[in-house]
């Protein structure tokens, strides 16, 4: 998805690690990188990819907001990898917590209680809104969503799930069917009880709306009609990313999530908030749904940032009402690694660090004072930028050929020579960009400094200049 194919080492201006280069000359790190790449090409089967066309960047090390590639080149990480290193790379507190846990107790079966799992659950529940007091641990976001849907179906006794077209909910079978975006297409058997609808997205309004208020009202009227046409009594849940992430970082208009909550309540439908990407501080709140005041979902799924991605962990935060459904009947689901000790120790250290260092406040300030204004200024200078949208450390640039027609710079589900040139221009200047279709997402670690964020935005500007110059 994110094209990180990199230009060869050369006069590209990117900062290099001198120590590594000299080791490389002696056949050390660079040889390791070469071997890593050749073994990868021989034996690793990459996700979402045509295997013969994969050319991955070798990552040899990482620290803070930076990663180093196999050529010793230092890259400012504007991706947080797949939007998960919320504390940056190699945060010493999290690394030490994992090491300490490994020395004490690497693992224990989910049927036992461990200090790491209990404390991780307590800490997560202390930050989730409302009465989401119980945590079911999974190993990632997709299985968290699958279990949330299973819980909703069992709790309501209804089969269907509604979700939006512009969404991503994971790569496992049900999660990819709930997903709206093109990764669903080759996997969708249309037999999973999922119905898709349009969420609000004013820039490309499906409702011919001219302002956020109109978009909100019409998107809610549309959802209300879909519910009526599908039969309210057949719908277990509406699953929504509180702020859709990979599909374009569309912050919902004021009142939309409240309206969805009301529609759900009206019809006995559960609301599942997918906070896998937007949760754990990414948007300047612990969870993105908090931007919509007083909206509490029945189930909230998380992964990624809960451990800064250092050890895989996901989960479902469950309301008291849904949890009570399984007080006397067994919940028919589980995973060998549910609440794995190393992952939970990483979660505890991540959350404690976020609390102690006000990382969530830092993300909010970053958005308000640095990234938001920086990207807005960029948009004034670059006609390709059709819209800047986002919050906290969660931003997208919508790139268009023409601001009037809003024709995307790459087709939906595809790429274009311009987007490829742009990606390469960023990398050659020392910036790792997150690119999806016609969009550039700015999703750095929440701990990135203002100077680092500003220098990354300057690089985006230079790469945009270069790509536009090449194209015209």
Ligand X SMILES: Cc1ncc(COP(=O)(O)O)c(C=O)c1O
Closest distance to ligand X from the beta carbon of 157 (Å): 25
- What is the 3 state secondary structure string of the chain? CCCCCCCCCCCCCCCECHHHHHHHHCCCHHHHHHHHHHHHHHHCCCCCCCHHHCCCCCEEEEEECEEEECCCEEEEECCHHHHCCCCCECCHHHHHHHHHHHHHCCCCCCCCCCHHHHHHHHHHHHHCCCCEEEEEEECCHHHHHHHHHHHHHHHHCCCEEEEECCCCCCCCHHHHHHCCCHHHHHHCCCCCCEEEECCCCHHHCCCCCCCHHHHHHHHHHHHHHHHHHHCHHHEEEEEEECCCCCCCCCCCCCCHHHHHHHHHHHHCCEEEEECCCCCCCCCCCCCHHHHCCCCCCCEEEECHHHHCCCCCCEEEEEEHHHHHHCCCCCCCCCCCCCCCHHHHHHHHHHHHHHHHCCHHHHHHHHHHHHHHHHHHHHHHHCCCEEEEEEECCEEEEEEEEECCCCEECCCCCCCCHHHHHHHHHHHHCCEECEEECCEEEECCCCCCCHHHHHHHHHHHHHHHHHHHHHHC
- The answer to the question of residue 142 lying near ligand X (CB under 6 A) is yes
Of residues 71 and 307, the one with the C-beta less far from ligand X: 307
Of residues 158 and 169, the one with the C-beta less far from ligand X: 169
**Closest-approach residue to ligand X (CB):** 141
Rounded to the nearest 5°, which phi and psi values hold at 220? -70, -40
Of residues 117 and 166, the one with the C-beta less far from ligand X: 166
- Contact residue for ligand X among 24, 149, 240, 303 (CB under 6 A): 303
- The answer to the question of residue 238 lying near ligand X (CB under 6 A) is no
Closest distance to ligand X from the beta carbon of 82 (Å): 6
- Contact residue for ligand X among 121, 135, 140, 464 (CB under 6 A): 140
- Contact residue for ligand X among 17, 69, 241, 398 (CB under 6 A): 241
The window from 134-142, 225-233, 369-377, 379-387 that contacts ligand X (CB under 6 A) reads 134-142
Closest distance to ligand X from the beta carbon of 140 (Å): 3
| 196, 243, 373 from 238: Cα distances, Å | 10, 14, 34
Closest distance to ligand X from the beta carbon of 178 (Å): 9
Site map (CB under 6 A) of ligand X, residues 214-233, x = contact: --------------------
Residues contacting 102, CB < 8 A, separation 6+: 342
Of 290, 302, 297, nearest to 252 by C-alpha is 290
- The answer to the question of residue 124 lying near ligand X (CB under 6 A) is no
Site map (CB under 6 A) of ligand X, residues 44-83, x = contact: --------------------------------------x-
Closest distance to ligand X from the beta carbon of 31 (Å): 32
Closest distance to ligand X from the beta carbon of 49 (Å): 15
Site map (CB under 6 A) of ligand X, residues 153-182, x = contact: ---------------xxx------------
- The answer to the question of residue 274 lying near ligand X (CB under 6 A) is yes
Of 357, 377, 378, nearest to 445 by C-alpha is 357
Closest distance to ligand X from the beta carbon of 173 (Å): 12
- Contact residue for ligand X among 216, 223, 269, 277 (CB under 6 A): 277
Of residues 240 and 467, the one with the C-beta less far from ligand X: 240
Of residues 142 and 419, the one with the C-beta less far from ligand X: 142
Of residues 72 and 252, the one with the C-beta less far from ligand X: 252
Distance CA 134, CA 117 (A): 12
Of residues 29 and 288, the one with the C-beta less far from ligand X: 288
Site map (CB under 6 A) of ligand X, residues 305-334, x = contact: ---------x--------------------
Of residues 79 and 428, the one with the C-beta less far from ligand X: 79
- The answer to the question of residue 276 lying near ligand X (CB under 6 A) is yes
Closest distance to ligand X from the beta carbon of 190 (Å): 20
Q: Contact positions toward ligand X, by CB under 6 A?
A: 82, 140-142, 145, 168-170, 241, 245-246, 274, 276-277, 303, 314
């Amino acid at each position: 998805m994110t094209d990180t194919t990199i230009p060869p080492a050369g006069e590209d201006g990117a900062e290099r690690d001198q120590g590594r280069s000299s080791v490389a000359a002696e056949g050390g790190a660079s040889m390791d990188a070469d071997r890593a790449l050749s073994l990868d090409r021989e034996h690793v089967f990459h996700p979402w990819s045509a295997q013969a066309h994969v050319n991955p960047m070798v990552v040899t090390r990482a620290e803070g907001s930076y990663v180093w590639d196999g050529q010793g080149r230092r890259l400012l990480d504007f991706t947080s990898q797949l939007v998960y290193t919320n504390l940056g790379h190699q945060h010493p507190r999290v690394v030490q917590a994992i090491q300490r846990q490994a020395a004490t107790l690497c693992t224990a079966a989910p049927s036992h209680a461990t200090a790491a799992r209990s404390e991780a659950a307590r800490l997560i529940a202390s930050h989730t809104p409302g009465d989401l007091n119980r945590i079911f641990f999974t190993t990632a976001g997709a299985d968290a969503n699958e279990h949330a849907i299973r819980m909703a179906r069992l709790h309501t006794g209804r089969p269907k799930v509604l979700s939006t077209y512009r969404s991503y909910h994971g790569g496992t079978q049900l999660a990819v069917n709930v997903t709206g975006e093109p990764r669903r297409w080759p996997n969708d058997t249309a037999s999973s009880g999922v119905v898709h609808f349009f969420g609000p997205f004013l820039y490309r309004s499906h409702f011919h709306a001219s302002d956020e208020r109109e978009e909100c009202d019409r998107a809610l009227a549309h959802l209300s009609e879909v519910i009526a046409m599908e039969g309210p009594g057949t719908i277990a849940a509406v699953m929504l990313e509180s702020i859709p992430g990979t599909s374009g970082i569309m912050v919902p208009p004021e009142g939309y999530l409240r309206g969805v909550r009301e529609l759900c309540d009206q019809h006995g439908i559960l609301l599942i908030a997918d906070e896998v990407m937007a949760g754990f501080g990414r948007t300047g709140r612990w969870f993105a749904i908090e931007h919509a005041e007083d909206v509490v979902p029945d189930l909230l799924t998380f992964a990624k940032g809960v451990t800064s991605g250092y050890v895989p962990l996901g989960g479902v935060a469950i309301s008291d009402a849904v949890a009570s459904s399984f007080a006397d009947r067994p919940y028919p689901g589980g995973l060998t690694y549910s609440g794995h000790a190393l992952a939970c120790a990483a979660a505890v250290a991540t959350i404690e660090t976020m609390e102690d260092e006000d990382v969530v406040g830092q993300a909010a300030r970053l958005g308000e004072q640095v990234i938001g204004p920086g990207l807005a200024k960029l948009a004034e200078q670059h006609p390709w930028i059709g819209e800047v949208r986002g919050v906290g450390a969660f931003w997208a640039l919508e790139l268009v050929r023409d601001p009037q027609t809003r024709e995307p710079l790459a087709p939906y589900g595809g790429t274009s020579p311009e987007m490829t040139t742009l990606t390469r221009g960023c990398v050659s200047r020392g910036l790792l960009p997150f690119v999806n279709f016609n969009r550039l997402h700015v999703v750095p670690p929440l701990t990135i400094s203002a100077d680092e964020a500003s220098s990354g935005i300057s690089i985006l500007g230079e790469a945009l200049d270069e790509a536009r110059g090449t194209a015209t």
